[in-house]
């Protein structure tokens, strides 16, 4: 009993930081409508800066001052980011905003390692709070008690700011109608910047407050952002009080989950989140969002199947690819196989995202499940490769069916956050459940059948399977199901009015996309001969998103082109520089800001412009159309 009380207190202490970070995310979203993926990065920067500052500054004053200073410094960085980057993309689709802020996250990850090194850092203990207090005969760290008190204090302060200051009232007004606030003479730009700075300050402070409890590491950003997403999904995006309650719920579930199911404690959080979503899709204290401003994939230029000429060109391209083993060496073929497998992965995500308008931030889950499924089938069940390639994707299918059922209840940013959270839960199961998955060590020795064991044989296998998969997805796009799916993307209301069951159609699309991702994953397992948790981690999901974006999100075949270019570029980059994340992050940011139509999108635009008799008039019309949005 006493032990449970102590465990409860530990949970409350963890909730404080989580609440700070989550409330910051919520406040920013409320006004700017941006889900700031970089929030975890700011949290991490807050911790690192606090580590350095508290090492340099002497005494109790130096310690506490250092924490606050770290928060302020991070807030200044946040303001800079807002001014330089976010102001350019406030009107962009949500997906782009998420991606851009994720690009920043990637850059920060490398920068942090450059500045502070790869080792975990253990910070100073809080002066005056080094000891422990006895509660029911158990020792509770005094610092935990301080954090427990801090949570409600911050909640109260935020409440005061929003209720009692003009700035707070302006923020609440802008949360409802930002254009009207401007029409009353308020400079939105600075309002947005200051809101962003406050939200980021809370994240930085949340990170800084962690240093007496936890080592500072360069992986803490993604860990916290996933928890924060879970918190805001449960509490309701935009609600500070919701963030407070949900932070406690999630932290307590973690604290007790460790006791009940030490290996898969996150599953408990998942169950609660799922229950909340079923009862209140917008979270406990959130308000239903309107439909997404603009679903990805909507294009002014109508899609059409390949013309006979194009069909011949594509067939020729595949044939040419099939001839590659005659000229290329083993290494090139292995790289080629990987690129081809990722083309299928990207195509499956494209199907969900561009055709279905559902931007998943956790598509790697189904890729990874397919890989693990194949590995289980080959290693545990002892099936040959051919059977394992069929069995593996079934795990991806099952995962997509389960998670998709919840995800398609949401749309827009909620959908993105939820898919990410599910993927991360899958990852943590793979990571924690060592007996079954091998944990960090993965599953090794997943070898292909002899005929496909050489780089040549496997290349042909990968090419055949991927080409068939991509072709099947393309056929689906132009099938009645594909048209129905696009109808739900373009207008839920109208689609439902003509008798389309939106939930069912989108769920089916989710399962299809997950299954094809699983096929790619199963191939990947045999290509590498092994499976690791990183196969279903966030970076893999984002790789897929970037491929689709790079190729051209509004196009039908962009995903394949994007995958080819991106994967080749990434493999090359990896061999050239230590700072591949920094470069990649920068590429993503530039892509989103300067090149949002992608490769195929730009090519199509050029072609369309050339085909038109009066190119300038057409371009003018399109430009004005965008301005009106």
Paired sense of beta strands 530-531 and 132-135, if any: unpaired
CB of 619 to other proteins, least distance (A): 12
- What is the total count of residues that contact other proteins (CB under 8 A)? 23
Choice between 285 and 458, CB closer to other proteins: 285
Choice between 152 and 621, CB closer to other proteins: 621
Choice between 87 and 125, CB closer to other proteins: 87
Choice between 172 and 223, CB closer to other proteins: 172
Site membership for other proteins, residue 118 (CB under 8 A): no
Using the rule CB under 8 A, give the single segment among 134-142, 216-224, 459-467, 620-628 that binds other proteins.
620-628
Site membership for other proteins, residue 628 (CB under 8 A): yes
171-230: contacts with other proteins (CB under 8 A): 172-173, 175-177, 179-188
* HSE-up of residue 494 (Cα within 13 Å, Cβ side): 7
| Cβ proximity of 338 and 372 under 8 Å | no
CB of 593 to other proteins, least distance (A): 20
CA-based angle 368:373:379, to the nearest 5?
120
| Cβ proximity of 191 and 172 under 8 Å | no
CB of 24 to other proteins, least distance (A): 20
Site membership for other proteins, residue 170 (CB under 8 A): yes
CB of 27 to other proteins, least distance (A): 15
Binding test (CB under 8 A) with other proteins, winner from 118, 134, 137, 166: 166
Site membership for other proteins, residue 614 (CB under 8 A): no
Site membership for other proteins, residue 610 (CB under 8 A): no
Using the rule CB under 8 A, give the single segment among 168-176, 296-304, 442-450, 605-613 that binds other proteins.
168-176
CA distance 189 to 313: 49
- Mention every residue, 6+ apart, whose C-beta is less than 8 A from residue 172: 162
Q: What is the DSSP string of 332-376?
A: HHHHHHHHHHHHHHHHHHHIIIIIT----S-THHHHHHHHHHHHI
Choice between 134 and 179, CB closer to other proteins: 179
CA distance 515 to 127: 54
- Mention every residue, 6+ apart, whose C-beta is less than 8 A from residue 616: none
Site membership for other proteins, residue 290 (CB under 8 A): no
Q: Closest Cα to residue 482, out of 575, 350, 382, 607? A: 350
Helix ranges restricted to H, 445-597: 455-477, 480-490, 492-497, 502-528, 538-551, 558-576, 580-594
CA distance 626 to 195: 27
Choice between 435 and 626, CB closer to other proteins: 626
Binding test (CB under 8 A) with other proteins, winner from 169, 312, 323, 381: 169
Choice between 150 and 186, CB closer to other proteins: 186
CB of 167 to other proteins, least distance (A): 10
Choice between 180 and 475, CB closer to other proteins: 180
138 DSSP 8-state letter: E
Which residues of this chain interact with other proteins, rule CB under 8 A?
A: 166, 169-170, 172-173, 175-177, 179-188, 621, 624-625, 627-628
């Amino acid at each position: 009993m006493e032990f449970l009380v102590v465990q409860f207190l530990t949970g409350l202490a963890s909730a404080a930081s989580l609440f700070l970070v989550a409330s910051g995310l919520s406040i920013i979203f409320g006004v700017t409508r941006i889900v700031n993926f970089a929030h975890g990065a700011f949290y991490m920067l807050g911790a690192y800066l606090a580590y350095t500052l508290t090492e340099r500054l002497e005494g109790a004053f130096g310690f506490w001052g250092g924490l606050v200073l770290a928060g302020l410094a991070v807030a200044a960085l946040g303001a800079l980011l807002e001014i330089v980057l976010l102001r350019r993309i406030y009107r962009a689709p949500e997906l782009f905003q998420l991606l851009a802020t994720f690009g920043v996250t990637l850059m920060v990850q490398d920068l942090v390692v450059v500045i502070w090194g790869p080792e975990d850092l253990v910070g100073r203990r809080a002066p005056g709070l080094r000891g422990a207090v006895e509660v029911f005969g158990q020792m509770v760290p005094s610092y935990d008690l301080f954090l427990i008190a801090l949570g409600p204090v911050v909640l109260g302060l935020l409440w005061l700011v929003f209720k009692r200051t003009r700035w707070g009232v302006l923020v609440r007004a802008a949360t409802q109608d930002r254009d009207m606030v401007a029409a009353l003479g308020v400079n939105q730009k600075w309002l947005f910047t200051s809101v962003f700075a406050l939200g980021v300050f809370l994240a930085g402070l949340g990170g800084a407050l962690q240093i007496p409890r936890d080592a500072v590491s360069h992986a803490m950003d993604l860990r916290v952002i996933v928890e924060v997403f879970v918190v805001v999904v449960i509490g309701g995006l935009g609600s500070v009080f919701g963030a407070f309650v949900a932070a406690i719920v999630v932290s307590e579930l973690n604290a007790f989950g460790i006791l009940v199911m030490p290996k898969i404690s996150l599953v408990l959080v998942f169950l609660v989140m799922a229950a909340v979503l079923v009862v209140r899709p917008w979270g406990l204290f959130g308000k239903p969002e309107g439909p997404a401003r603009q679903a990805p994939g909507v294009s002014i230029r109508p899609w059409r199947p390949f013309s006979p000429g194009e069909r011949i060109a594509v067939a020729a391209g595949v044939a040419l690819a099939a001839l590659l083993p005659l000229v290329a060496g083993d290494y090139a073929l292995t790289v080629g196989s990987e690129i081809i497998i990722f083309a299928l992965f990207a195509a499956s995500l494209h199907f969900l995202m561009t055709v279905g308008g559902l931007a998943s931030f956790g598509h790697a889950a189904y890729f990874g499940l397919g890989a693990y499924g194949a590995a289980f089938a080959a290693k545990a069940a002892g099936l040959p490769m051919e059977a394992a390639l069929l069995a593996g994707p079934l795990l991806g299918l099952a995962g997509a069916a389960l998670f998709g059922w919840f995800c398609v209840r949401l749309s827009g940013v909620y959908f993105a956050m939820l898919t990410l959270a599910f993927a991360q839960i899958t990852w943590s199961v793979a990571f924690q459940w060592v007996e079954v998955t091998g944990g960090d060590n993965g599953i090794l020795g997943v070898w292909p059948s002899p005929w496909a064991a050489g780089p040549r044989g496997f290349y042909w296998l990968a090419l055949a399977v991927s080409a068939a998969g991509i072709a099947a997805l393309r056929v689906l796009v132009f099938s009645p199901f594909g048209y129905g799916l696009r109808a739900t993307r373009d207008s839920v209301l109208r689609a439902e009015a003509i008798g389309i069951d939106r939930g069912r159609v989108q769920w089916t699309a989710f399962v299809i996309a997950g299954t094809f991702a699983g096929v790619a994953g199963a191939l990947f397992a045999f290509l590498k001969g092994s499976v690791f948790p990183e196969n279903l981690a966030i970076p893999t999901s984002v790789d897929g998103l970037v491929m689709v974006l790079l190729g051209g999100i509004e196009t039908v075949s962009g995903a394949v082109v994007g995958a080819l270019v991106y994967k080749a570029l990434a493999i090359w980059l990896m061999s050239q520089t230590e700072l591949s994340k920094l470069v990649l992050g920068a590429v993503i940011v530039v892509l989103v800001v300067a090149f949002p139509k992608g490769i195929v999108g730009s090519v199509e635009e050029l072609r369309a412009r050339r085909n038109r008799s009066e190119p300038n008039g057409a371009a003018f019309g399109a430009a004005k159309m965008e301005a009106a949005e």
